[in-house]
Structures are given as C-alpha cells and as structure tokens.
Amino acid sequence: MAMYKKLMDCLEGIQKKVCFQPQIGLVLGSGLGGFAEKIQVEQAIAFEQIAGFPVSTVEGHKGRFVFGYAAGVPVVVMQGRVHYYEGYQMSDVVLPVRLMGLLGAKTLILTNAAGGINETFQPGDFMMLTDHIATGVPSPLIGPNIAKLGERFPDMGEVYSRRLQEIVRTSARSCGIDLKEGVYAQFTGPNYETPAEIRMARVWGADAVGMSTACEAVAARHMGLEVCAISCITNLAAGLSKQQLDHKEVQETADRVAASFERLVTEIIKNAGKA
C-alpha cells in the first residue's frame, strides 16, 4: 500500500540519522515554534532531509523534528507542521503525526493558533480542546485503511483523552493560567472564515476555529495514541471584531504569550511524562 510504504520509508530515513526514542510527541502551532529551542536538544532532522516527507511553506514554520528532553521527558517536537491548504493530500498532512507514533511516542500534544468564537475568550487566552468538529475538511483516514495502524471505523468518542485533560487543567493551575476549554472547528483555510461561517460554527457548538489539529488528532487516535490539544486564541474570529484578520496579528499574539505557553507545555510534559 502506497501510504504505508511512504511512512515506512520516512521512518527508515529518520532512524538512519537519529537514534532516540520519544515518549511524547509535540506539534507546535503558528508562532509557537520557539519552544523547540527551549528543550534540551539531542538531535534534529529537517523535513527536507527525509525523502518523501511533505515540506511546509508557510511563514513562521520551520519544518523539522527536534529530539530531546523537556522536563526530563524524552520528546519529539514537530516545529512547523504541514497544512491541508498548502495543497497536500490529507494523508500527507497527517504523515508527521503518524511518524511520531511510529517512532515510539504514546502521547501526542497538539498546539495551534486559533480564532476565538466563544465571546468569553480574549486574544492571548489558552483553550484546551475538549472535542472538535472536523467536518470542514476531509478525513485523513479516507482511502484504503492501513490496518497496521488501526481499524477501518475507529471510534472518536474521546479524541482528547479525559485523563490528559485533567493533567492539562492541573498544569495550567500550577502555572497560574486561567485555562479556557472548548470545541475546536477545523476549516481548510488559507482564507480566514466569513462572519456567516463563524456564526454557523457557533451554532454547531464551536468555541474556536483554525486550520489544523483536528485531522492530526483523528489520525493519532486511529493508531491509538493518547491525545491532548491546546489552542492559543490569537484573535477574535471573523465578524466578532472590527479588525480585519491577518497573519501578523496571529504571530504578534502568539509572541506575546510565548513565555506562558512554554511554561504550560513544559508543565504538561512533566506531568504527562510521569505515567
């Protein structure tokens, strides 16, 4: 099967260059990539060094796996994720997350920048995902099922592990962060949503909106990883403020809260890594 072979080729490509077994995989969202430099780095591999690997093109995305220790826990950090709007197949978009699992990570922490739909959210807030709406994008599991990874019709009743959610809450509390919680809706991008789309997403039960994460969480759950995810609310979603949406605002807000983001993620890794 083409996709499985591609995964195995990439895995082999990494394992030829890197000897490190991560316990936790971490995906860094827009503007949040600086965390990769804060860990105790052991090895790093640029995506373009891995044959067959989809390479990201967005500004602010570096594109590499960093292997090392955060809070003493062995982690693999994906700095610069791959987005569907870049033109990749969904199966390529989730390839890095699958690789993290195949490299040995049992836990996956996803992060992203998102627009706030819930009116109690302010730019700079962190929202822990309790669930998601991924109907705006194709499922990453479309196509022949890779039975070596998981089953054809996987359950999605608890995408974001209740156990990890409790760890995230405790970690936020010990960092003095007023953590928000809610449902994330994934749209394809790259355009921001219209105000009508945001009203629709709110009626559907979404609290935040973005262009990543849900598809990765689905692929990770398919292969049995335990997942948690955090959005950095970088802006109010379309129609909720007079401001036009732009990537600069997203970057600026993410930069402003980078230090608390890094403390929170480190604390989560410390607590999740104890298990």
- Rg for the chain, CA atoms, rounded: 17
CB-based closest residue to ligand HPA? 115
Minimum distance of ligand HPA from residue 177's CB (angstroms): 19
Minimum CB separation from ligand HPA for residue 159, in Å? 19
| AA letter at 71 | A
Pick 91 or 231: Cβ nearer ligand HPA: 231
266: nearest Cα among 203, 139, 175, 164: 175
Residues that bind ligand HPA (CB under 6 A): 113-115, 192-193, 209-211, 234-235, 237, 245, 250
The alpha carbon of residue 241 and the mean position of all alpha carbons in its chain are separated, in whole angstroms, by 26
- For ligand HPA, the closer of residues 97 and 211 by Cβ is 211
200 catalytically annotated: no
The yes-or-no answer on residue 222 being catalytic is no
Catalytic residue among 247, 252, 258, 260: 247
Task: Count other Cβ atoms within 10 Å, centred on residue 249.
Answer: 18
Sequence letter at residue 212: S
Least CB distance from residue 144 to ligand HPA, whole Å?
Answer: 31
The set of residues, in sequence order, having a beta carbon less than 8 Å from that of 186 and lying 6+ positions away, is 132, 133, 134, 136, 137, 209, 210, 211, 212, 213, 214, 215
Min. distance of Cβ 130 from ligand HPA in angstroms? Answer: 19
d(CA 230, CA 128): 5
Catalytic residue among 113, 201, 223, 272: 113
**Annotated active-site positions, please?**
30, 61, 83, 85-86, 113, 211-212, 235, 247
